[in-house]
Amino acid sequence: MIRTERPVIVGANQRTFHGTIVAADEDPAHPDDDRQGIVVLRDQDSGDEHRLPIAAIRRANLVYEG
């Protein structure tokens, strides 16, 4: 579960996301700042992928599934 400080999807009020992190990318505008990256989360219900800015993440509950 990832909760953001504010809605990050244009036109939606969603702040809580449930799913699996599938990637973490650097921010092209700030490649040397590890706090400015993007987390790609695959929604557990719809399968949609959401690109969430690391700086907007307020809380994350992570469970290792390896």
Indicate yes or no: pTM above 0.85.
no
* Tens digit of each residue's pLDDT (9 = 90 or more) over 19-58: 999 999 998 888 898 889 999 999 999 999 999 999 899 9
Q: Tell me, yes or no, whether 66 lies in a domain.
A: no
pLDDT of res. 66: 78
Q: Tell me, yes or no, whether 10 lies in a domain.
A: yes
Task: From residue 14, give the alpha-carbon distance in Å to each of 10, 11, 27, 34.
Answer: 10, 9, 22, 25
| pLDDT (average), residues 14-23 | 92
Q: Tell me, yes or no, whether 16 lies in a domain.
A: yes
Residue span of the structural domain in which 48 resides: 2-60
Distance CA 37, CA 56 (A): 10
Q: Tell me, yes or no, whether 27 lies in a domain.
A: yes
In the chain, the number of structural domains is 1
pLDDT of res. 37: 92
pLDDT of res. 28: 86
Q: Tell me, yes or no, whether 38 lies in a domain.
A: yes
Q: Tell me, yes or no, whether 65 lies in a domain.
A: no
Q: Tell me, yes or no, whether 14 lies in a domain.
A: yes
